[in-house]
Amino acid sequence: MTKTATPYPPLHSPRRILMGPGPSDVPQTILAALAQPTVGHLDPFYLQAMDGLQSMLRHVFKTDNELTFAVSGTGSAGMETAVVNLVEPGDSVLICVNGVFGSRMADVAERAGAVVNTITKPWGQIFTTTELKNAIVKFKPKIVGIVMAETSTGASQPISAIADVVHNAGGLLIVDAVTSLGGMNVEVDQWGIDVVFSGTQKCLSCPPGLAPISFSPAAVASIERRATKVSSWYFDVSMIANYWGENRAYHHTAPINMTFALYEALRLLLAEGLEACYARHALNHRALKRGLEILGFTYAADPEHQLPMLNAVNLPAAVDDAQMRLALLEQYKIEIGGGLGELKGKVWRIGIMGHSAKSENVLSLLEALENLFVENRIVCESGVACRAANAVYLNG
């Protein structure tokens, strides 16, 4: 039989500067870890890597929780794992909604059979303990879910006081830390979080595909008391725990090479030091914010509760959302994100997460914006935004 040329060319991914809401830039050593030879999911080498990954996750989550591992799936898989294991049909659940991902958690809980009640705030604002306490008194939930770092608005929700309110009422607290983990302090044990989940592709600078998660002893006890099976076979942690624990009982074929990548990502993070990493994100946020404000951008989130790694900014009137984001990508190879939900077309979501959180990225974006402003005849003094950002870097 005569061979014919395949119509499908080999892939050659373009190089981008990833400054959107995720994924973030991936260091070469993590890509190299991803490319290591694949072994079996019960190979002694892989089991050793799993142990190391769990240990490092506990350090990053700041927890002693035994049931700490990586869900085979993206951050949304982590959300679903958290919810379906705690929720039984008919359970009262309270979800805090001030953006897209609070709404998603409410949807997941409803699909799991919960009686879902919500407390809402305008997008970009956060919840107070008083507001939450009043809602808990009204709805008497078994579980309260909240987003620590709302990726759609750039709002940073304080957690510790909220956990006290939930626990004082006898409830369990689920926290979405998809965007925050690795870029700002997450204190699972000290704050009293019962289930926390994240994703690999943001401040951990790993490709998307795993969802770090941790269950407190109280959460595990709640799962053990269930009267019904977990609604998802794949995300049932009573079975997954036997694979990640000493028994190593087969559950599913784990994404082996993604485990290698996350192992390396966590190793790099701990080598830098958590506090140093948080400080790096905060410094780049301050520099970017100063430069963007010079160009006429304002922030969507409350001034006192803005995320360092995800900058959601309102567009100046003269800026065409889609046209300028496309120009950034095509002319400067810089990717930023548009708005979601009710903020679609109104804000940009600029990520400085993980390996992307560095001065050269911040300055490259500001310089590109200055050039595009001039090209589009938007009033802009050449170099002023970059000078403002550099002043922040010089002064700390």
- 215 in the same domain as 107: yes
Does a structural domain hold residue 3?
A: no
Total domains in the chain come to 2
The pLDDT value given to residue 215: 98
The pLDDT value given to residue 4: 66
The pLDDT value given to residue 381: 77
Give the start-end residues of each E strand in the chain.
17-18, 67-72, 92-97, 115-120, 143-147, 149-150, 155-156, 172-176, 195-197, 210-215, 298-299, 310-314, 334-335, 337-338, 347-351
- 331 in the same domain as 204: no
* Domain encompassing residue 381: 273-395
The pLDDT value given to residue 1: 54
The pLDDT value given to residue 382: 79
Does a structural domain hold residue 367?
A: yes
- 167 in the same domain as 132: yes
- 334 in the same domain as 235: no
- 236 in the same domain as 222: yes
Does a structural domain hold residue 38?
A: yes
- 286 in the same domain as 261: no
Q: Which residues contact 311 (CB under 8 A, 6 or more apart)?
A: 154, 285, 288, 289, 292, 299, 349, 350, 351, 352
- 213 in the same domain as 112: yes
As given in the structure block, the two tokens for residue 368 are 């590109």
The pLDDT value given to residue 390: 97
Task: Look up residue 335 and give its DSSP letter.
Answer: E
| Of 224, 245, 271, the domain-final residue | 271
Does a structural domain hold residue 20?
A: no
The pLDDT value given to residue 286: 98
Does a structural domain hold residue 16?
A: no
The pLDDT value given to residue 96: 98
- 256 in the same domain as 332: no
- 267 in the same domain as 278: no
- pLDDT means per 10 residues, the chain with 396 residues, are 75 96 97 97 94 98 98 97 98 97 97 97 96 97 98 95 94 98 98 98 98 98 97 96 89 95 98 98 98 96 95 95 96 97 95 97 97 89 91 91
Q: Within 10 A of 395 (CB to CB), how many other CB atoms are there?
A: 8
| Of 209, 240, 271, the domain-final residue | 271
| Of 271, 298, 320, the domain-final residue | 271
- 306 in the same domain as 222: no
Does a structural domain hold residue 15?
A: no
- 362 in the same domain as 324: yes
- 282 in the same domain as 256: no
